[in-house]
Structure 1
Amino acid sequence: MDPRTEEHAEVLVDWSARVEEGDNVVLSVGPDAHELAVAVAEKVGERGGNLVTTYSSMEVGRAYTMAHDGDFDENPEHKLALVENADVFLSIGGGRNTSEGTDIPPETRRAASEANRDISEARMDTDWVSTVHPTRSLAQQAGMSYEAYRDFVYDAVLRDWEELADEMANMKETLDDANEVRIVKEQTDITMQVKDRVAVNSAASVAYDSHNLPSGEVFTAPYATEGEVFFDVPMTIRGERVQDVHLTFEDGEVVDYSAGQNEDVVGEILDTDDGARRLGELGIGMNRGIQQFTDNILFDEKMGDTVHLALGRAYESNIPEDSDDEANDSNVHVDMITDMSEDSHIEVDGEVVQRNGTFRWEDGFEG
């Protein structure tokens, strides 16, 4: 076993999920994530956790969903009970075909998602963390050799997370004190309100309200969005390659959209429900260990020099406990990314905090 796989497992169990003795742990494992799953199981056992392992395959899921008549039972009790009794839910991605499931009809996909809504909510109430094991399918999707892709993944995952958390605290404090954020670049001039929101310093640990490994972003829940935004980073959404997405917002909602490829996928997302036309997240990438785009949102949205906006569900962690506001609700949360490395800037209350990908506290910043 690659010793970095052991390190990955240790970071996931100790830093990210903070597994303790007596914790009930559900470990969801992708088909080609066997090695990391073995290492994680060992770490959970060493720490006295109670482990249940499930098999998570898009191919298996597609077979079931496509064969079903579409009238799904709502929140099957056996599945709900497993999640409701979990303290920690760990997901290790590692599928064999990144395009599996593209032919599931949109209405069937929506029905299945709605039927599992309470299960999804219960999972969000655990100390959940998602990560991926470097697989050949993901390397192929990234256009990289398998060896190079493994190096890429571990450079992103095996970080000094405490040091990065301290750096990202600068952006969290900036957003916590802010009223308005503006993003400007070619085909993009968009403003959004963030007053009375709590930004999350997403340092790859549940202790920071962060649930992805790798992470390395600061995110909040915007509202009252106005203007236009162009997402120039290609990505695979629901198994389809989507690129050059342009959205126009008025009164907080998407009123017009286009895409250079697979525009129908964007339309399908927007038609999911009312909340899908509003933003659920503004995320600012800050992980300098991620040096290139790989067509995997888990990595690409964390890359320094990027901003991502998500249509749909907002996270409760961005809403103050004493607030009367409610987080934007939707059955979807779909991130899209724009590259901020050139001819761009981010303003917070009229002050530039990042220009051409460089933050004001970094060397080389030009105000």
Structure 2
Amino acid sequence: MDETQVAKWADLLTGYCLAVQPGEAVAIVSELEARPLVEACFRAVIDRGGHPLLRLSLPGLEEYRLLHASETQLSRYPMTLAYEAETVPCRIRIAAEIDTRSMAQVDPRRQAIRDRALGNLRELSRRNRWVITQYPTAAYAAEANMTLEDYTNYVARSMFLDQPDPAEAWRDLGRRQAGLIKFMTGARTVRIEGDDTDLTFSVAGRTWINSDGRRNMPSGEIFTGPIEESIQGRLRSTFPVCRDGRRLEGIELEFRDGVVVHARAQAEEAYLLSMLDLDPGARRLGEFGIGLNSGIDRFTGSILYDEKIGGTVHLALGQSYPETGGVNESSLHWDLILDLRSKGRITVDDRVVMENGRWYVG
């Protein structure tokens, strides 16, 4: 990615996404691998009259903490992080892993302790303006089975950095997604059918959110929170779930009255079950999302991109987004993607609205 595109990216994050104002503090949280984008964001914040606060992590240290810290240490976080979450109005998180499998050796039980602690911190962070993005690294490219050059170009296209005015391209996508939200706002019952999937739930009275790149960059989805106790049926995740250095294949879940009553996976089943037992809310769905970004068209192993693939839907176990009206609480938020492009259907109130990736409304 050339300097011009990196500068466009930083301008998107600080301008279109966060609208940084003069005098505002902006936390920039990342790893060393993302240095070009970190530096560009630092300059962009300064140019907007803001105050950049850098917090960079080094490879391997979080893994060491998870492997060697006591459970008391894992269950707490420095109060400085809570202070930052409460008082810094803007936050840019740039993921830039150099080893996506580094967490695979960590005991899932210890990861669960860490996740519960971080759940409180995330709740504090949600009250302020934030955006998450992901810098292209060799590790991410390998997960996507692409060369780093091809992956970097893919990343740039997904954020419209190859267009003269990326912000206007995002505003245009948001306007198109608003049409589908207008229709879905009156929906009551949703049925999703696909390979080994037949799931029904209610969204009556819930709020739909237009995710047009303000918080996730890239984005391109609409989402809501299903009525928690209404979920009935079964689903099979089309794509693997890549989490904490593990790759879970063939996840199948059965829901009864909103709760997962049966779960299996072809790979990493023990880890799946440990996450479902993280807390009572982990066995319920907190989000139903619809991917609408036609520029994101292949599985890469990164949920930031994959849940936006046009022609897919995703259902997240765990924490609801309060702005949707969802009330489920959990330290988990774990998206499962269903690919409906070649064989699948969405029915809303007995009307087929999408079949094999083709929409009939919006």
TM-score by length of 2: 0.93
Does structure 1 residue 212 correspond to structure 2 residue 212? no
Contact 2:109 2:274 in 1 (8 A): no
State yes or no: 1:289 paired with 2:295: yes
Query: Does the Cα contact within 8 Å between 1:203 and 1:216 map onto a contact in 2?
Result: yes
Confirm whether residue 268 of structure 1 aligns to residue 274 of structure 2. yes
Secondary structure in structure 2 of the residue aligned to 1:327? coil
Counterpart of 1:106 in structure 2 is: 108
Partner of 1:76: 78
1 CA distance for matches of 2:102 and 2:135?
A: 18
Residues 1:229 and 2:235 aligned together: yes
Q: Look up the match of 1:355.
A: 355
Match of 1:152 in 2: 154
Could you list the runs of 5+ residues in structure 2 that have no partner in the other structure? 161-165
Distance 1:58 1:104, change over 3 A: farther
CA distance in 2, matches of 1:254, 1:110: 18
Query: What is the CA RMSD across the aligned residues, in angstroms?
Result: 1.5
Match of 2:256 in 1: 250
Query: In the alignment, does 2:318 pair up with 1:303?
Result: no
Cα separation, 2, equivalents of 1:140 and 1:41: 29
Q: Which runs of 5+ in 1 are unaligned?
A: 206-210, 320-325, 363-367
Instruction: Indicate how the Cα distance of structure 1 residues 117 and 258 shifts in structure 2: closer, same or farther if over 3 A, else same.
Output: closer
In 2: Cα distance, 1:145 partner to 1:74 partner: 39
| Counterpart residue type for residue 360 of structure 1 | Y
| Aligned length, in residue pairs | 351
In structure 2, give the amino acid aligned to 1:115: A
Residue type at the aligned position of 1:181: V
SS at match of 2:251: strand
Aligned partner of 1:193 among 173, 196, 202: 202
Q: Which amino acid aligns with 1:297?
A: I
User: TM-score w.r.t. structure 1 length?
Assistant: 0.92
Partner SS state of residue 249, structure 1: strand
Distance verdict in 2 for CA 1:265–1:31, change over 3 Å: farther
Answering whether residue 95 of structure 2 is matched by residue 89 of structure 1, we say no
Percent of aligned pairs with the same amino acid? 31
Q: What is the alpha-carbon distance in structure 2 between the residues aligned to residue 276 and residue 302 of structure 1? A: 22
**Secondary structure of the corresponding residue to residue 41 of structure 2:** helix
The code of the aligned residue for 2:319 comes to R
Within the candidate set 148, 167, 182, 2:191 is matched to 182
SS state of the match for residue 97, structure 2? coil
Instruction: Note closer, same or farther for the CA distance 1:31–1:100 as it changes in structure 2 (3 Å cut).
Output: farther
Match 2:174 to one of 140, 161, 165? 165
Query: Does 353-362 or 15-24 show the bigger shift?
Result: 353-362
